[in-house]
Structure 1
């Protein structure tokens, strides 16, 4: 259980790196001039899946569309962390019921 909690905290914590001696977020906030190409590769497909959906999507639906294993207990927690991180950075909207939609 502690490993799962640690993995979840690591996946939702802002990740930064040093570029030119300055700290930068690996998942940048949505802003004019910052396109989805600035996202790490594993994050680039997630907004596309959410945008293609007919309405709000659950984490499981996104995982199935990405071809991830969605059957095991806790298998979706890393993806849920990525979806939440994208929502926190303004790239997706997180609805109260735990569903996600594209940010217009």
Structure 2
């Protein structure tokens, strides 16, 4: 009967060990599931960060020098479709086009954007070769 007692004792030891290992296995599986979720969250955050960085680079306005002024090469477009988000020159162009009764030529818009005195100053600076006269009128002026 001594063997039967040994077998029973060993079986109860193994049952206790199996119970302890089962609990430990559940804890390990729960921790693994938490780690899988944490990994997914980190991947999503990294993807979002990359997408935001790429969008910021793609939407970054580029400034260039035009006539001594820094202007945007391509105007920055934000999420707001509001006209007030546009640069001042663009808003003035829209106002000129809206004020017209029909289609507007670029020349007309340019004439309204650049004041008349500034136009004459540009013509005087560039010299008479840049000036144009009405048809049939000598550049030097009438009666010269």
Give the alignment's TM-score, normalised by structure 2.
0.28
> Is the strand fraction higher in 1 or 2?
1
> Is the helix fraction higher in 1 or 2?
2
